[in-house]
């Protein structure tokens, strides 16, 4: 591994080494149909945040997809600060064939960890159809469309609701809302992603996993988003309605932990 600015590495099928790779085979169903799953690991000056938890999710996703992937150790120390995304693809074949592709890694230098400004968020009106099992897959069209629409309106994010009218997440993050004085985050049965930072928050915050309808979200007085890049990000506005900041202590605790990692 050399230049940390932007780099793709491919996994040799013997499962022992990583070697530089500049492209994904066009015949791979990860490219053709979005048949892939991934995890994003934040890296601070060569130190990965929660790597074991991310690899565990990749292994569990592989089992759900009937795949047989192995994840050799990755040398993070030569990377700078940014996001390293591991992708497992279906490989060549028909849509019904077994997953038999490769594991790829893409590092992008960017700001991670914290210090992001409070987010202004809107509710997406398009029904969101979650991926099976709530895993992060290469078919991210719905998420990027909702995110792009929010950005076009001068906002930072959008909340996504499944066809049953239940909150799933934000387009690029999990969501926590304080409703009637209690914190809640969407239950995995809604299609919510089992995010690593989401899990970290649930161990420290008196919050429940529940089923949040749009009318419930409209009553929240505070909210924040979680993902590997931003960590914990306050929501200051939802659909033009100002919210209070009630997560400052949690953000500080998170920053203290990742800085000492």
Which tens digits make up the pLDDT trace of 45-77?
999 999 999 999 999 999 999 887 878 888 899
CATH number (domain holding residue 233):
3.20.10.10
- Position 8 scores a pLDDT of 47
Residue 23's pLDDT band (cuts 50, 70, 90): confident
Residue-level pLDDT at 165: 96
Q: In what order do the strands lie in the sheet with 6-11?
A: 18-20, 6-11, 103-109, 82-89, 36-44, 47-48
**Per-residue H/E/C for the chain:** CCCCCEEEEEECCCCCCEEECCCCCCCCHHHHCCCEEEEEEEEECCEECCHHHHHHHHHHHHHHCCCCCCCCCCCHHHCCCEEEEEEEECCCCCCCCCCCCCEEEEEEECCCCCCCCCEEEEECCCCCCCCHHHCCECCCHHHHHHHHHHHHCCCCEEEEECCCCEEEEECCCEEEEEECCEEEEECHHHCCCCCHHHHHHHCCCCEEEECCEHHHHCCCCEEEEEECCCEEEEEEEECCEECECCCHHHHHHHHHHHHCC
User: Regarding predicted confidence, which is higher, 200 or 131?
Assistant: 200
Domain hosting 90: range is 6-109
Domain-terminating residue out of 86, 109, 132: 109
Q: Distance between CA atoms of 131 and 104, rounded to whole angstroms?
A: 20
- The reply to whether 1 falls in a domain is no
Residue 229 included in any domain? yes
Q: Do residues 69 and 19 share a domain?
A: yes
Please, which pLDDT band fits residue 145 given cuts at 50, 70 and 90?
very high
**Tens-place pLDDT, residues 215-250:** 999 999 999 999 999 999 999 999 999 999 999 999
More confident call, 102 vs 58: 58
Q: What is the pLDDT of residue 67?
A: 86
Q: How many CB atoms lie within 10 A of CB 240?
A: 8
pLDDT at 9: 53
CA angle 75, 230, 8 (to 5 degrees): 35
**pLDDT for position 17:** 78
pLDDT at 196 over 90: yes
Number of Cβ atoms within 10 Å of the Cβ of 58:
21
The C-alpha atoms of residue 80 and residue 258 are separated, in whole angstroms, by: 15
Domain boundary among 61, 79, 109: 109
Confidence of residue 147 (pLDDT cuts 50, 70, 90): very high
Q: β-strand 47-48 against 36-44: which pairing, if any? A: antiparallel
Based on the fold, state whether residues 134 and 18 are members of the same structural domain. Answer: no
CA distances from residue 205 to 54, 57, 237 in whole angstroms, order as listed: 21, 22, 21
More confident residue, 6 or 245: 245
Residue 71 tokens read as 């994840």
Task: Give the pLDDT of residue 219.
Answer: 97
Choosing from 109, 134, 158, the residue where a domain stops is 109
Token pair in block for residue 153: 């309106």
Q: Cα(124)–Cα(121) distance, rounded to whole angstroms?
A: 9
| CATH number where 72 lies | 3.30.470.10
Taking residues 138-163, report their average pLDDT: 97
Average pLDDT, integer, range 141-147: 96
pLDDT, residue 5, reads: 44
Domain count, the chain: 2
> 110 with 83: CB under 8 angstroms?
yes
Question: Does 22 have pLDDT greater than 80?
Answer: no
The percentage of the chain sitting over the pLDDT mark of 90, rounded to a whole number, equals: 77
Would you say residue 96 lies in a domain? yes
Share of the chain above pLDDT 70, in %: 94
Whether 54 maps to a domain, the answer reads yes
107 DSSP β-pair partners:
7, 84
Pair 156, 127 in one domain: yes
Tokens read off for 88: 């497992």
In this prediction, residues 13-39 reach a mean pLDDT of 83
Specify the pLDDT at position 12.
53
Residue appearing with tokens 């969101």? 128
Does 246 lie in the same domain as 152? yes
74 shares its domain with 158: no
């Amino acid at each position: 591994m050399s230049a940390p600015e932007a780099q793709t590495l491919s996994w040799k099928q013997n499962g022992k080494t990583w070697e530089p790779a500049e492209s994904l085979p066009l015949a791979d169903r990860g490219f053709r149909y979005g048949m892939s799953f991934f995890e994003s690991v934040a890296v601070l000056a060569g130190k990965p945040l929660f790597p074991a938890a991310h690899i565990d999710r990749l292994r569990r996703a592989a089992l759900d997809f009937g795949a047989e992937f192995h994840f050799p150790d990755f040398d993070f120390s030569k990377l700078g600060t940014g996001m390293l995304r591991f992708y497992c693809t279906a490989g060549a074949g028909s849509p019904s064939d077994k997953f038999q592709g490769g594991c790829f890694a893409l590092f992008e230098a960017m700001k991670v960890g914290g210090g992001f400004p409070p987010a202004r968020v809107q509710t997406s009106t398009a029904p969101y159809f979650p991926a099976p099992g709530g895993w992060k897959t290469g078919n991210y069209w719905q998420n990027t469309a909702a995110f792009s629409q929010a950005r076009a309106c001068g906002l930072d994010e959008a909340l996504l609701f499944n066809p049953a009218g239940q909150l799933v997440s934000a387009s690029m993050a999990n969501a926590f809302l304080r409703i009637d004085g209690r914190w809640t985050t969407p239950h995995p049965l809604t299609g919510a992603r089992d995010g690593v930072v989401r899990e970290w928050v649930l161990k420290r915050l008196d919050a429940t996993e529940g089923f949040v309808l749009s009318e419930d979200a409209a009553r929240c007085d505070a909210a924040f988003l979680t993902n590997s890049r931003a960590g914990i990000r306050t929501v200051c506005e939802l659909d033009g309605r100002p919210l209070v900041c009630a997560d400052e202590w949690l953000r500080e605790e998170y920053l203290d932990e990742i800085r000492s990692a």
